[in-house]
Amino acid sequence: MKLPTVKETIQIRYADLDPLDHVSNAVYGQYFELGRIAWYEAILKEQPDTVIPTTVVAKMTIDYILEIRLGDMVNVVTSCSKKGHKSFELTQLLFSNGKLATRSTVIMVGFNKETRKTCVPLIGWQPSDPM
């Protein structure tokens, strides 16, 4: 089964802004996290019996392209671009007023909280269709 591509609307808060009146670079990670939560929820909505193990962020890269300001309409699109044995790669695109503002690549690793070791996440699922 293919993993979904999910679009989530982000509400900008006044507290997200820095002294330059645009969203602080420290906040983008939170926006991407909201996208990942919506992505996991979409998997469970599609297949409620799916076992989703705990995952941890092993690597995250963020490319800042355009600034985001208070009042902008912001969406994050999340999809799985690669899937390995114990990890998978998410591509996340943040759009502001319909224009690509930020791009992120996140490597997620399955993690067993009891054994404190890596584990296989999302068994039987395949990467999303290309965006």
Residue 83's domain is classified under what CATH number? 3.10.129.10
Counted domains in the chain = 1
Single pTM value for the model: 0.93
Residue 20 has φ and ψ, to the nearest 5°, of: -90, 5
Local structure of residue 21 (DSSP, 8 states): S
Distance, in Å, from the CA atom of 101 to the CA atom of 91, rounded to the nearest integer, reads: 14
Convert the pLDDT of each residue in 22-69 to its tens digit: 999 999 999 999 999 999 999 999 888 887 779 999 999 999 999 999
User: Residue 62: which H helix or E strand, with range?
Assistant: strand 55-64
Adjacent-strand bridge partners of 72? none
Assigned domain for 48 exists: yes
Assigned domain for 14 exists: yes
Convert the pLDDT of each residue in 21-33 to its tens digit: 999 999 999 999 9
User: Residue 45 sits in which domain range?
Assistant: 6-119
